[in-house]
Every structure is written in C-alpha cells, then in structure tokens.
Structure 1
Amino acid sequence: MENVQTPPKQIVDVLDQYIVGQNEAKKAVAVALRNRYRRMQLSPQMQEEISPKNLLMIGPTGVGKTEIARRLAKIVNAPPFVKVEATKFTEVGYVGGDVESMVRDLVENAVQLEKQAAYKRVNADAVKQANNELLKLLVPAKKKENNQNDMQNIMNMFSAMQKGETPDINAGQQEELTDDIREKRLSTSDKLRAGLLENEMVEIEVPDPSQSNVGNNNMLNQMGIDLNDSLAGIMPKKMITRTVSVAEARDVLTRQAAETLVNSADLYHDAIENAQNSGIIFIDEIDKITGGSSQSRGEVSREGVQRDILPIVEGSQINTKYGTVNTDHILFIASGAFAESKPSDLIPELQGRFPIRVELNDLTKEDFVRILTEPNNALVKQYIALIGTDNIKVTFTIEAINKIAEIATDVNHNTDNIGARRLHTILEKLLEDILYEGPDMQMGEITITEKYVDDKVGQLAQNKDLSRYIL
C-alpha cells in the first residue's frame, strides 16, 4: 500500500488489521484520501476549485482516533503526513509553538520523501562512487602536490562552499599511483564486489552531528529561516573521523555521493508541490483549545490559537526554508474527545472548515476481546512474543481473555473511561510476576486461566479505591 491511488475499501481493509470497529471513521478517512487522487486527475482549472473536505473525529479517549492517524501515516507513505498536538501551540505574541510550524513540519516530511525517491534513482551511480572511495581507503596511495597554485586551491574551496558542499582539503594533492598500488586495488575491487571485505574496518569522515543544531533560533525557525543552512553557504561543515566497517562505510559514502548527484533546487520544488497537493496534517486534541475546556481556563487564550489555525486551514501562504507553501489544498484531519466541551464550542469559522464529522463509539466488552486477539499487533500477541524471548511459552485461555475484557469494561465504567488503554495497565499488572521472574525460569510453559486473572487483578478491580490507583 503506497499511495492515495489505493481504493477506499483496501485502505479500510488495512486499518481493520490494526483497529477494531469504528467503521464510519475508517470509511470517511479512506474516502478523503481517495478524493486527493481523484482531484489530481481533473483539469488544472477544476483542481483549483475543489477544496479538501476536512474531517473532525469525535470520540472518547482510547477508542482509536490517534491510532487511525498513526496507521494512516504508514499506509499512505507517499503523501507527506504529519501529526501534531493542538495543545503545543500558543497564541501569537506568547512564548511557545507557532501554528505555522505544522506546515513547515509537513514540508520537511515532503523533502525527506523526495530525497528518498531521488537517492533511489541515482543509487547505482552513488554506489559506484562509494566503492571507488572505499578502494582508496582500503589501499591508500601516496599523495603528491599538483601544479595548481595556492590561489586556485582557495578558489576551488570557496566555490564548493558556495554550492553548500564540503570543500576538499586535499584538493591541492593528487594520488601517486604505482603499479603495485594499481594491482592491489584491482584485487581489492574484486573482493569488494564479492562481499568478502564487509567486516573490514576503515576510517571515514562524516559531518559532526553535534553541529546540526548550532545556531538554531526559535524566532528564526518560526520565520522559516534555518540559520544552519545560511551558515553552510559561507563556512564548511565540521567533520569528524569514524572507524566503521566497510558495509557501514559504503552506506555513508553512498549517501554522500547521492547528495552530490541530486539537484537540490528541483528536489525542493517537487517537495513543495507534493506537500501542497497531497499533504495531510492530523491535529490531535483539538478539543483542548475550545473555550469550554477547563484545561484552557487561566491559560493563554485558546480561542486565539483557533484564530491562528483558521487561516492555515482556510488557505494561506506560509514561508519555509525551502520556499513558500500554499495550504489551500492540504487535507486537515482533527480529532478530540470533547469530554468537557463540544464541537460547537469551536469558533464558528473553524467549525465550518471541518464539514465532515464522524463519531467514534465507546468500546464494549466484545470490542476488548477482539482488540486483545484479532489485530496484527494485538496486545496478547505482543506479550506472548515478549515473554517468549525468555524461552517461556505463554498461552491464554478464551475464558481468561473474556475475564480481562470484563475487568477492563468494569474499571472504565467505575472510574475514568480511557478506552483500550485500560488493557495495557491490566495486562502489565497481570503478567508482572512472569515478566520479573522470566529470565530466571530459563524455559517452560504457562497457561493464563480465568482463575489466574481473577486472582491477580480481579480482586483489585472489585476494590474501587485500589482499582482507581492501580488499574
């Protein structure tokens, strides 16, 4: 599953493998994704007229809103996708997150996607260059001074810096290849191609990771300016030497070679186009910025945050370090529990920008049973696999599964309803002794029965005071 050309039914089928129920929400998301592809098949004039139908998912915590977004990001790994928390933003004029950063994050994601695609296209040439560099590292030759004067070397270094490349400090030197060196390199080249030198150690130079955030300034970042990129044009990157295997060195050198083979200007242009026409921004916890949320009282004006978000959702021009982005056709999916507020507490203008609303239902005991057993990443399967690493085979009876689901339902009903997240707490408490003693048991088989569940967590669940704090 790679892009929005995938039919809605197939998107729902994939979501069904990880998320129980909530069919209405799955269908709405799948249709919204498909409409992205449909729009791109129309004439340019018609494309401009069709705006995305943004979604608002409403439902209690732990029923699958965030999980739908998380799985969606993996299903549609071709369109740029970012997930943000509405609570991290503050109104303009206050210290905190700038709402425009969500668009810049989306473009950053689009750039990375374009880089992956571009590097893949030039991979063959990049690997060839990397292997040539590996030969020089494995069979080094003596250096000899060339006939270039110092001024020419300085000009070459300055030219490389202007292009954003790391200048070659050895530019004024050439290799002195003797017949012996040539013969050794031919022999080593054959071994490289045969994969016989993958574990040999070599020294390579890589950019210093500690310099990646030097000069970062929050105010500049909010203006779409990256000080690191600006400095890169006037001064070389700081390099460090690492000793790595040939296999790892090839990956690093291939990446470095690919960067020189790709046209960055074209890459950034394509990334912005992709973000504008196919980008998806998922805004979680949007209910926390409503006037009706008790969490917002006494804090920075949440209505101000809504008003800052509004022009971005409506369509505006946002400056990024890669260029200006138009948000007219970005798809926005928002979600919130709305436990202490309701969608109508959002400012009317923002409500109108999310015309499609879907409500996710509370989870029942039957849903919990399915969550524990059916999905590809079912919790029971996860714990069986984890404990299995200690050579212990754990089996759950169906009665035990039903009991766990019953306890989760009761605790959610009697305390705070946190949905499927309650299962994590109950299973961790249920299996804590096995997880603790497992490494010392060496091997064995354990069956989790209904009685075992009742003994370990059943009594806790019946005691409201204890269940409130422990489960």
Structure 2
Amino acid sequence: MKMLRSACVHQRRLRRPFSLLSSPPLKFVAGRPFSSIAASANEQIESAPKNELQENLRPTQIVDELNKYVVGQADAKRAVAIALRNRWRRRQLPEDLRKEIMPRNVLLVGPTGCGKTEVARRMAMLNDAPFIKVEATKFTEVGYHGRDVDKIIADLMDISMQLTKKRETEKVMDRAKEIVEELLLEKLIGPTTSSVSTPSDENDNTHKDKEQLQQVPRNKGSFQSMLEEGLLDEMMVEVEVPIKGPDSGREFSIGDEGRQVKFTLDADSQRTITQRKKLPVPEARKVLLESECEKLLQMVDLKKEAITAVEETGIVFIDEIDKICTSSASSGRNTDASAEGVQRDLLPLVEGTTVSTKHGNIKTDYILFVASGAFHSVKPSDLLPELQGRLPVRVELKGLTEEDLYKILTEPVANMIRQQVELLKTEGVELEFEDEAIREIAKNAAELNKSVENIGARRLHTVMERIMEEISFEAAEEGMKGTRMVVDKEKVGARLKGVTKSTDLSRFIL
C-alpha cells in the first residue's frame, strides 16, 4: 500500500483539462468535511426546521414544541398553532374554494417581556415557510425619507429564494457528489506519470517514481477505493475556478431609501471569468461540488417556486405595532411620518395587493400577518378601524408572576441556569444552583419589576449578571479548574442586597 501511495502521490499532469467556465461557484463554508457540505445562503437558513418539525404539525404538537421554550401564555400558543394549522388545511382544499379562504391574521397584546417576540421566533423555527420579523417603527409613510412597507415583502421574497435554493440543493446534493467523484477519478487516472503533481515533485527521484508507477494498477476500482480512503488527498489537481467580479450580483440604488430606482447587475448575465488553480483533492472536491450543484439547480425554476412559497405560506411578524399608534385624544394633531401614515400603508398589504420585487410580482392576499405590541399608552382600539378589522384574532398575554419567572429559569430547554452552568464548564468549573437560590432570584426579579419598571423576563438577565459577575470573573484563574461552586440563597441575597433596597429616585425629579 505504501508503494501505491507513493506512486500516486508523485504523478504530474492531468490527462485531460476540465473547464468550469459556465458554472459560478456556490458560497462555500470553509472547514466542513465533504460528507456534510450543504450550500446554505446565510446563517438564518442554517436554522431551518429539522425533520421532526414538519409543516403539517397538529396544533397540540405545535403547542408542545412551544412549551419547550416559552413559559405560560397558553392562549397565544393556541392562537399561533391554529393559524399555522389553518395554512396546511387551506392547501388541502380544491383550488376554487382555496381562493376564497383568507388567513386569520393575529394581534398579540401584552406587556413588555411577557413572551410575544419569543413566540414569533419559535414559530419561525417550527414552520418550514418564508418568515420575516420586522419592527413597525423602522418604516415611514410613502413619500417621506425612510423605508416603505413594501420593503417587507421584498425582504420576505429574498428569504424565500434562500430557503428554496437550500431545499433544492439538498435534493441534488447526492447526485452532485456522484458526479464529482467521477470527475476526480477522471483526473486522477491517466496513462502516464504526468497526470497530476505534488509540491515535492522537484525533489523526487524521477527514475524511482517511474519504476513505482509501473507497479500501480491503473484501473478505476483501485483509484476509487484509494480516493474514498483519503490516500490521494495529497495529490494536486488542476481545475478552472470561476471568479465573480466585485460588482456581479450587486444591487445599485439611486435616491433616498424607500424611494429608490434600483438596478441589479445580474451575475448570471455576465461572462464568467475563470482562474486555473492547482488544488489538493479535498479542496478540488469542494470547488467541483459547488459547481455541479449550481449546474443541477439551473434545471429548477427557483424563482417560481419561491414566489409560490411566499404567496401561499409566507408569514410576516410585525412587532411594536403600538408604537405607530396614536391615542384618540391626539388624533388629527399628530404629523409623525412613522405613525398613522404607516398604518394606512399597511392596510393594502394586509388586505391583499401586488408588490413588485426584483424577483417578480408578489400577491399578498394569502400571507399570514401576526402583529404584536405592549399598548401601554394606547389601546388596540386606537389602531385605524380598517386595520383592526384585518387583525380579527386578538390574544391578550398576561404579565409574568414570580412563579412564571421561576419556571423560565428552570423549565425551557436552554434555560438561563443551564446556560451559566455550561459556560463555566468550559473553564473546568462545576457550578450548581440550589433550588432556594433560584426561587430567590425569581423573587427579586419580580420585586424589581414592581418597584422600578416592569420589563418582564428581561429583568432576569439583569439579576443573573449581577449574581454571576464575581464568579465569572474568577473562574478562569489558575487553580479554579476542577473546583465546585455552589450558589445558595445567602449568596444571592448578598449580591442583590444593594439593588433591591435602592429606590428609583428619577421619578421624584421635576
């Protein structure tokens, strides 16, 4: 076997050149083994639903999944579960009846930190469909400087394109791997000793190499087995790597944000520039795999599938909708371009209209809209009447009690206590929280919410950081590795003594 390895490693040139001129490379995530390569558009797409989280989950299953991450708020979970299930039910109907069934948009009303946004985040992970979360305060009325609400649908379409490309890439990945292995074998098998080269060719004894190569079996099976075992990984293979120009695929805009004339330099319409490179077999495999996936994807109409996914299964979550709402007392006197005007612009989107994007026209008739807001200074009835009618399902979320805060610390899969324990475990420190200490943390957080400002579960982060500050600072010191640290009720009380007794004096300042 050593003789075979040496003979193969010291070959020199390719038997036949191979061109990748027509195939731009996919984005490659460096460092992954060949068996796990997947063309993903961005980090958000890597968090796509797993096999067990399918789009046809029953409402009870959806609630069970949400219970792993969100404490309480049963009404909100049920409303979201029903809305998601109704999307699946509608797609099972005949086309003539399907057109008449509109989504039941949802309005979540509840105080800050009660779980509105967390429900939306987990809903996106459960649903294999285009999903986007936006903040209503980021948009302005059409005609003013800022982003128009139509940008929501454009961004949703971009997400759908990425999801569709990832899904289709996974379908063709096995076929692409087979093609790449054949191409590598074609490059490695040659009638002479000059098919491939290694960096150490100049220092080798040419006569000795030729004698060894005469003993190497030149059949496909022997090379294939060595390729699979990684014995040929040191060999250098020459390939033509497509190079995209710095401006290819880039979008240019003229005008202010929200009122722009956009031009897109499509990379596919430009002549691809290639560069000939000698790469080790593992790197050449990655380049070829990206190219072959792109070739196979050219046979799929990605835009058509992505548009269908947006129109039939798209979900838009609009957070902080109460911030663009004005009270009835000040109605008519407010000229804020980010307030009532944005509500008017949202009306056609929620009701159903056609939005033009760079990928094509999108109909919003069947997109599900979920809005949320705290509504501290205003009421849901202060929304425009037309917008209220387009959000028929209204769910009120309750404020968090001391018991809820305790459950948040202990019940979710990645609860805050577990996070702290795992973080210190990386330093070799074993951290333990007594149950009484956890209840004391919840009690102090609840008291701070009552006496200072009610920020819900976010208060737990403030309290936990105060408790863990000294422990985290000292955990990396020499001699701490292998130690065991216990957080008890007394330690929690000592760390929070000054915080809980201090008074928010800002309320007395005139």
TM more than 0.5: yes
Pair 44,398 (structure 1): closer, same or farther in 2 beyond 3 Å: same
Residue 430 of structure 1: how far off its partner (Å): 0.6
Alignment of 1:443-462 (within 5 A): 443-462=482-501
Aligned pair in 2 of structure 1 residues 46, 234: CA closer, same or farther (>3 Å)?
Answer: closer
Partner of 1:281: 316
Aligned to 1:71: 122
Match of 2:252 in 1: 216
Q: Distance between the aligned counterparts of 2:160 and 2:226, measured in 1?
A: 39
Partner of 1:323: 360
Aligned residue for 2:99, secondary structure, equals helix
- The unaligned stretches of length 5 or more in structure 1 are 144-178
- The 3 A distance-change label for structure 1 pair 100 and 358 is same
Distance change >3 Å, CA 231–CA 212, structure 1 → 2: closer
Q: Which amino acid aligns with 1:41?
A: Q
SS of residue matched to 1:446: strand
**Displacement after TM superposition at 1:129 (Å):** 3.1
1:442 CA displacement:
2.3
Q: Does 1:436 align with 2:473?
A: yes
SS at match of 2:484: strand
How many residues are matched? Answer: 430
Q: What residue is the counterpart of 2:146 in the other structure? A: 96
Letter in 1 for 2:313: S
Quickly say closer, same or farther: Cα 1:372–1:55, change in 2 above 3 A: same
1:278–1:190 Cα change, 3 Å: same
Q: What is the identity, as a one-letter code, of the residue corresponding to 2:253?
A: N
> Is contact 1:62-1:421 (8 Å) kept?
yes
Aligned equivalent of 2:436: 399
Give the drift of 1:131. 3.3
Deviation for aligned residue 1:412: 0.7
Aligned 1:66-215 pairs, distance under 5 A: 66-76=117-127, 78-132=128-182, 134=184, 183=218, 189-196=224-231, 205=241, 207=243, 211=247, 214-215=250-251
Larger Rg: 2
Residues 70-89 of structure 1: per-residue CA shift (max 9 Å, x gap): 1111111x221111111111
Q: CA deviation at 1:142?
A: 7.5
Equivalent in the alignment of 1:42? 93
Q: Which residue of 1 aligns with 2:39?
A: none
| 1:308 maps to 2:345 | yes
Find the partner of 1:359 among 374, 380, 396: 396
The Cα of 1:212 is off from its aligned counterpart by: 6.0
Q: What does residue range 234-245 of structure 1 map to in structure 2 within 5 Å?
A: 234-237=269-272
- Percent identical across equivalent pairs? 42
Distance 1:444 1:212 in 2: 55
1:12 to partner: Cα distance: 0.1
Contact 1:224 1:319 in 2 (8 A): no
> C-alpha separation between the residues in 2 aligned to 1:463 and 1:201?
69
Residues 402, 200 of structure 1: alpha-carbon distance in 2 compared, 3 angstrom cutoff = farther
Conservation of the 8 A alpha-carbon contact between 1:292 and 1:342: yes
Query: Equivalent residue of 2:301, what SS?
Result: helix
Distance 1:463 1:319 in 2: 55
Q: Is the CA contact (8 Å cut-off) linking 1:281 and 1:332 kept in structure 2?
A: yes
Contact 1:404 1:426 in 2 (8 A): yes
Match of 1:163 in 2: none
Establish whether residue 227 from structure 1 lines up as the match of residue 263 from structure 2. yes
SS of structure 1 residue aligned to 2:98: helix
Q: Does 1:3 align with 2:40?
A: no
Summarize the Cα distance change of 1:226–1:94 in structure 2 as closer, same or farther, 3 Å threshold.
closer
Maintained 8 Å contact 1:104/1:224: no
Deviation (angstroms), 1:236: 3.0
CA shift for structure 1 position 9: 0.2
Q: How many angstroms does 1:201 deviate by? A: 7.9
CA shift in 2, pair 1:47/1:214, >3 Å: closer
Partner of 1:250: 285
What do the CA deviations read for 1:198-227 (whole angstroms, capped 9, x no partner)?
Answer: 687878736459546744327699699873
